[in-house]
Structure 1
Amino acid sequence: MPTTMLDQATAMIENAWGQPLEAREVLAVRPPSEDPLLPCAMHTRTALAITDNAVTVHQDRLDVLSRHGYVPDFYELDRITETAVSLHVAYAESRAYL
């Protein structure tokens, strides 16, 4: 399975702070004076989690609409196109956050 942008962000956070993400999540809600960069990194990771979920949903929908042996009805062509566009947008958002 390919590494997602969310996985990459998690690895970057763990490498930068030298601890597992779970240990850092508790500290991320403390006042920013202790570590101002950590809440920003965790906020970005949260945004990546949302876009990662969107990518998965759009990819699954596109897989269903374009599965092998399935002939879509004419009205479904718009759904296929909209889903493909939404998938590209979600990928672009993930790349921008990363």
Structure 2
Amino acid sequence: MPDATALDQATAMIEKTWGRPIEALESLAVRSPSEDPLLRSVMHIRSSLVVTDNAVAVHQDRLHALSRPAVCRPSTTWNGLPAQRRTFASLKPRAGLPFRPSAT
């Protein structure tokens, strides 16, 4: 299992140890927690791994979405129509003030 997550490994270990599928063990841990307190503890830890695994998947999806290369069409701009674009060459000094381009 080279690509197995901690959740997958925990599920396999729990199923092997108790000899039942995880769905049956979940219902058993909920219905009679006092009969097998160790099973209840193990299922509680596994449920926290489920939450963590889901959170990691969501953050990975967000990271992949943010790191994709952007597609810029030549007809679109950040602030409006192509006629509204201003380039450095089109900037003119204000009347009476010397023209100094900004450092940013």
- Per the alignment, residue 4 of structure 2 pairs with 3
1:26 shift after superposition? 1.5
Structure number with the higher helix fraction is: 1
In structure 2, the gaps of 5 or more residues are: 72-104
SS in 2 for 1:3: coil
SS in 1 for 2:55: helix
- Per the alignment, residue 82 of structure 2 pairs with none
TM-score, with structure 1 as normaliser: 0.64
SS in 2 for 1:70: coil
Identity of paired residues, percent? 66
Structure 1 stretches of 4+ moved >3 Å: 30-33
- Per the alignment, residue 55 of structure 1 pairs with 56
- Per the alignment, residue 44 of structure 1 pairs with 45
* CA RMSD after TM alignment: 1.9
Count, aligned residues: 70
TM-score, with structure 2 as normaliser: 0.60
In structure 1, the gaps of 5 or more residues are: 72-98
SS in 1 for 2:39: helix
Letter in 2 for 1:39: R
Q: Which has the larger radius of gyration?
A: 2
Q: Which whole-Å deviations, capped at 9, do the CAs of 1:37-75 have from their partners, x for residues lacking one?
A: 0010111111001000100000000001111x238xxxx
Q: Which whole-Å deviations, capped at 9, do the CAs of 1:11-57 have from their partners, x for residues lacking one?
A: 11101101111111121024443111001011111100100010000
